[in-house]
Amino acid sequence: MSGKKLAAARAKINREHLYQPIDAVRLLKELETAKFDETVEVHFRLGINVRHAEEQLRGTVMLPHGTGSDARVIVFAQGEKAAEAEAAGAEIVGGDELAQRILDGFDDFDVAVATPDMMVVVGKLGRVLGPSGKMPNPKTGTVTMDVKKAVEEIKSGKIEYRTDRTGIVHVPLGKKSFGERELGENYAMVLEEILRAKPASTKGRYIKSVVLSSTMGPGIKIDPSRTRDVLEETTA
């Protein structure tokens, strides 16, 4: 995006104002920021201490309208489970040979799923998949015997979220071409999940700030205290 376009987009945003969720979505869609269909993201800065394991958030949420992108899923499975994964739409299914491909540099996938018995094979990929957040994990439903369900849910809009080192959760909400209602309902579902996942040990303000943005656009601040009846507001 050109400097002029970015400046024009920023000029339309009141940097000091805390927007209501649906107003932020509406404003974001009005901004002319890129010629491609940008991804819309929401960023929650949380009042947690990430140095404490019990305050690190990691989980999944099903976006009612998906992300607008077809997630590429690989599955570590064998026999009947491998056939189930292929039938469910997994891009690649394998075992030792797939693990070796990844060690050799293959990373053209978004999510990795594995059956529990294959974790002996997957375990050696920790140094590769761990940093990118792609390591299968029981907490996110990616280590499971029900590979069919796992693949289908991921393909339907189930995404993983986690806090980064600074206590911020970055979550995609869809594409800029989505309607206001679609983005609003996805936002409401993510917010509900973030609130549900609040660590019991957290003290003080939990959600410190919320920012909505697109791939090339400036951030729009959302009122972090606006946590009730958001879904009703977006569907009004």
What counts of helices (H) and strands (E) characterise the chain?
9, 9
Q: Residue 227's pLDDT is what?
A: 73
- Residue 147 pLDDT more than 70? yes
Segments of the chain assigned E as strands: 39-46, 58-62, 73-76, 92-94, 111-114, 158-162, 168-175, 207-214, 220-222
pLDDT in tens, 71-80: 999 999 999 9
Q: How far apart are CA 138 and CA 13, in angstroms?
A: 41
pLDDT in tens, 32-57: 878 899 999 999 999 999 999 999 99
Structural domains for the chain: 15-67+159-234 (3.30.190.20), 73-156 (3.40.50.790)
Which among 145, 66, 143, 64 has a CA at the least distance from the CA of 111? 143
Q: What is the average pLDDT score of the chain?
A: 92
What's the pTM? Answer: 0.85
